C-alpha cells in the first residue's frame, strides 16, 4: 500500500523515501493492465507490469473488492453479447480469471450485493437496452436471476433522453437498497434488496431536474449521523445533493429528496456543447466530479470540479477547478489515505496520478503519468475506460 504524507501533497519537502503501489486499468480495446507506481520523494513513475484478457471486446468498468482481492470487469460490447469476468488479483497485481458469465451486452456498470456478506449476487446496468440484470454468485455457474426493463412515459428535454439509460448499480451504506441513476429518465431508481433471494423490489424514485441526466451516485454521513447522497449529472454538467431518509418500518423504502444542484464549473462559467460530466467521488468533507472535453487547463487538459461539504448539514459549496492532467477523464479514484488520485483519461488513454492536500482538499501537482494502449478519438467509445487502486 502506498502511504504519502501531506508534505508531498502541499508541495513542500519530504523525507527522502521510495514508495510503491499497484493499480489496474482497463481499455475499451479489450486488455486489462496492471500498473506499478513508484514515488521517490515528490516525483513518481508509472510502469505497466502485466496485461490480461478475458473481459470481452469492450471492458467499460472495474469494481475491486480489496478484502477478497477479487476484481470484476464489465464488458460494454454493443453487439448484443458481452461478459462479466471475475479476476483474482495476485500480490504483484497479476490477474487470473476465476469466473465469468455471458450477458446481453451494453453493460456500463456493476457491483456485488445481498447474501450473508453483501457478496451473494451481482447487479449490472445496461445503458441502451434500458435494463438492469442480476446474477447469483459464483459467476461460473450463474444464469440471469432477474432482468428489469425500464420505459419512459415521455422523452426528456435532452436529445439523448429518448429511452431510459440506467448507468450504475450501487448499494447504499446499509446494503439494504440498490440505487440506479438513470440518465435517460432523470431519476435515481431505488430498489429494496432481499438479501436471501437477491430479488429487487421497486421503491419510489428520487426525481432529478429535467435534463440533468444523473450518471453516478455516492454517499456521505456526518459525525452527527446526517446522511446525504450526491449525484453527478452528465447532461446537466452538474452535481446534486440529496437528503437520504430511512424507513422506520423494516419493510419500507429508502427515500431521496434533492436539495441542491450546482454546476461542475465555477460560478459564471459553463461547459460547452461537447462537455459531459462523468464521475463523482467523496473523500472526507470534500466532493469531486470530473468534466470531459472542457479543456479548462489548455489543449487536452480537462478539469476536476472540487466542492466542500459542510460538516454539519452536508450542503456543498464550490471550491475550485483542478487540472486532471488528462483528456476526457471518464474515471478517477482516490487512494485509501486520500493523498493521491488516479485519473483515467479516456481519449488521452492515460492514467495520471495527482497529489491531494488532505487538509484543504485541493488537488495539486502531477506525480506520474502513463499512456495505456492506443489513444481514443474525441467523443467516441474508445481509449482507456477505468482505473482502480489495489490496496
- What tens digit of pLDDT does each residue of 143-182 get? 999 999 999 999 999 999 999 999 999 999 999 999 999 9
* pLDDT recorded at residue 18: 60
* pLDDT recorded at residue 379: 87
Percent of residues in the chain assigned helix, strand, coil, to nearest 5: 0, 50, 45
Task: Determine phi and psi for 72, rounding to 5 degrees.
Answer: -115, 130
Q: What is the pTM of this model?
A: 0.95
* pLDDT recorded at residue 17: 54
194-248 pLDDT per residue, tens: 999 999 999 999 999 999 999 999 999 999 999 999 999 999 999 999 999 999 9
Distance of CA 181 to the CA centre of its chain: 12
CATH, domain 6-16+117-390, list 2.60.40.1220, 3.40.50.720, 2.130.10.10, 3.30.420.40: 2.130.10.10
CA torsion sign for 372, 344, 111, 285 is: positive
Which carries the bigger pLDDT value, residue 142 or residue 202? Answer: 202
- Could you write out the DSSP letters of every residue in 165-209? -B---EE-TTSSEEEEEETTTTEEEEEEE-TTT--EEEEEEEEPP
Which residue, 33, 48, 39, 139, is CA-closest to 89?
Answer: 33
* pLDDT recorded at residue 10: 39
How far apart are alpha carbons 146 and 194 in whole angstroms?
A: 13
* pLDDT recorded at residue 345: 98
Q: Where are the domains of the chain?
A: 6-16+117-390
Could you give the percent of the chain with pLDDT greater than 90?
A: 92
Preceding peptide of 138 cis, ω within 30°: yes
> Is the confidence at residue 141, as pLDDT, over 60?
yes
Which residue, 120, 128, 134, is CA-closest to 58?
Answer: 128
Amino acid at each position: 500500500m502506498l502511504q504519502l504524507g501531506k508534505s508531498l501533497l502541499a508541495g513542500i519537502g519530504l523525507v527522502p523515501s521510495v514508495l510503491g503501489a499497484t493499480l489496474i486499468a482497463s481499455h475499451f480495446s479489450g486488455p486489462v493492465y496492471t500498473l506499478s507506481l513508484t514515488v521517490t520523494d515528490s516525483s513518481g513513475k508509472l510502469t505497466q507490469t502485466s496485461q490480461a484478457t478475458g473481459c470481452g471486446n469492450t471492458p467499460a468498468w472495474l469494481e475491486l473488492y480489496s478484502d477478497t482481492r477479487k476484481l470484476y470487469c464489465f464488458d460494454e460490447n454493443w453487439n448484443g453479447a458481452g461478459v462479466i469476468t471475475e479476476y483474482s488479483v495476485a500480490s504483484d497485481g497479476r490477474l487470473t480469471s476465476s469466473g465469468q458469465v455471458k450477458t446481453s451486452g451494453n453493460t456500463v456498470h456493476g457491483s456485488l450485493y445481498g447474501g450473508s456478506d453483501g457478496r451473494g449476487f451481482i447487479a449490472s446496468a445496461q445503458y441502451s437496452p434500458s435494463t438492469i440484470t442480476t446474477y447469483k454468485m459464483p459467476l461460473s455457474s450463474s444464469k440471469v436471476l432477474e432482468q428489469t426493463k425500464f420505459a419512459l412515459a415521455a422523452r426528456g428535454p435532452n436529445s439523448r433522453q429518448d429511452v431510459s439509460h440506467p448507468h450504475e448499480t450501487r448499494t447504499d451504506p446499509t446494503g439494504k437498497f440498490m440505487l440506479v441513476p438513470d440518465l435517460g429518465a432523470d431519476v435515481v431508481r431505488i430498489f429494496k434488496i432481499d438479501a436471501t433471494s437477491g430479488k429487487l423490489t421497486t421503491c419510489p424514485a428520487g426525481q432529478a431536474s429535467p435534463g440533468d441526466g444523473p450518471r453516478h451516485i455516492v454517499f456521505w454521513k456526518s459525525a452527527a449521523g446526517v446522511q446525504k447522497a450526491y449525484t453527478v449529472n452528465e447532461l446537466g454538467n452538474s452535481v446534486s445533493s440529496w437528503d437520504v431518509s430511512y424507513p422506520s418500518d423494516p419493510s419500507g423504502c429508502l427515500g431521496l429528496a434533492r436539495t441542491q444542484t450546482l454546476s461542475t464549473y465555477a460560478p459564471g462559467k459553463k461547459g460547452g456543447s461537447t462537455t459531459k460530466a462523468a464521475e463523482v467521488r467523496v473523500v472526507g468533507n470534500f466532493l469531486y466530479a470530473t468534466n470531459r472535453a472542457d479543456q479548462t487547463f489548455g489543449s487536452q487538459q480537462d478539469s476536476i470540479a472540487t466542492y466542500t461539504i459542510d460538516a454539519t448539514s452536508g450542503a456543498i459549496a464550490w471550491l475550485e477547478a483542478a487540472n486532471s492532467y488528462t483528456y476526457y477523464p471518464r474515471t478517477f479514484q482516490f487512494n485509501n489515505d486520500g493523498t493521491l488520485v488516479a485519473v483515467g483519461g479516456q481519449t488521452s488513454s492515460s492514467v495520471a496520478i495527482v497529489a491531494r492536500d488532505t487538509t484543504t482538499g485541493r488537488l495539486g501537482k502531477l506525480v506520474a503519468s502513463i499512456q495505456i494502449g492506443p489513444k481514443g478519438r474525441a467523443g467516441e467509445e474508445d481509449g482507456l475506460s477505468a482505473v482502480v487502486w489495489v490496496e
